[in-house]
Amino acid sequence: MRCLKHLYVTDPRDDKQRILETKGGLLKGAYCWILKNDRFQRFRDDPQSRLLWIKGDPGKGKTMLLCGIIDELEKESAKRLSYFFCQATEAQLSSATGVLRGLIYLLIIQQPSLISYLRAKYDTQEEKLFESINAWVPLTDIFMDMLNDPALEDVVLIVDALDECKTKHSELLYFIFKSPSHIKWIVSSRNHCPDIGPRLRNATHTAKLCLEDIESTICEAVDVYIRHKVDQLICEENYDDKIRYAVQHYLMSHANGTFLWQDLINFMSE
């Protein structure tokens, strides 16, 4: 439909695939710990828990962790899931308006009947609905109406790298906080974000998971990933065990509790 075409700013599914390819693929052994984490389980199972905030320093694997959570939640057929990956270097991926457009787009793809809420405003404004300086206002109205649809009973919305949303991030947070109580949100950000950190810390019905507080768990996940990548390298290049142990020891001793995705890939390709 034309309205869906004009709504489109990105397909978050393509963004997820690009991220996975760039970062070397998703390894379940490096993220499955979250499924047993007490705070994640309480967030998932407690109807009163509306928001899970995952925060950590660069290199802690927040984005890949959210990709893993997405894969696990998508296995639940009754659940409606929409997500968005913010990216500060891309204008379309670093604005609150872009976030809403991506979330709405993916939700409509899954439940086409929701397009009626979009068409109600689109039929009078067409593409200008999304290009206007005031686009945020009708988009929030449209999305709020969608989220209040009685057919949406089990919905999880995920926004990665909230700190990389550079335009109207305060308005986006306000929208998250005022969304219907049956809607669950998962957001991630770096530590020490003065614009969003205090508001998330003070939010009610919010579970907070700081990756620095579970350092041993993250280190174990990093080691699992390193062993997996080293095994791949050994198989591809037919190296002996001596080289395997040397490479594995080097990477593990230099990881410092971070995934160091790009450094890892560069080192192993030399």
The more confident residue out of 95 and 226 is 95
Residue whose structure tokens are 């787009």:
105
Neighbours of 41 (CB within 10 A): 14
Counting every residue written for the chain, the total comes to 270
pLDDT at 260 over 80: no
> What average pLDDT does this structure show over 13-29?
92
* Residue 238 pLDDT level (bands cut at 50, 70, 90): confident
Percent of the chain at pLDDT > 70 equals 96
244/230 Cα distance (integer angstroms):
7
> What average pLDDT does this structure show over 77-97?
93
The reported pLDDT for the residue numbered 194 is 84
Average pLDDT, the chain: 90
208/176 Cα distance (integer angstroms):
15
pLDDT at 265 over 60: no
Closest CA to 223 of 183, 187, 182, 264: 264
**What does the pLDDT look like over 62-84, one tens digit per residue?**
999 999 999 999 998 788 999 99
pLDDT at 25 over 60: yes
For strands 51-55 and 183-189, give the pairing. Answer: parallel
Neighbours of 72 (CB within 10 A): 15
68-72, 106-110, 214-218, 222-226: the lowest-pLDDT one = 222-226
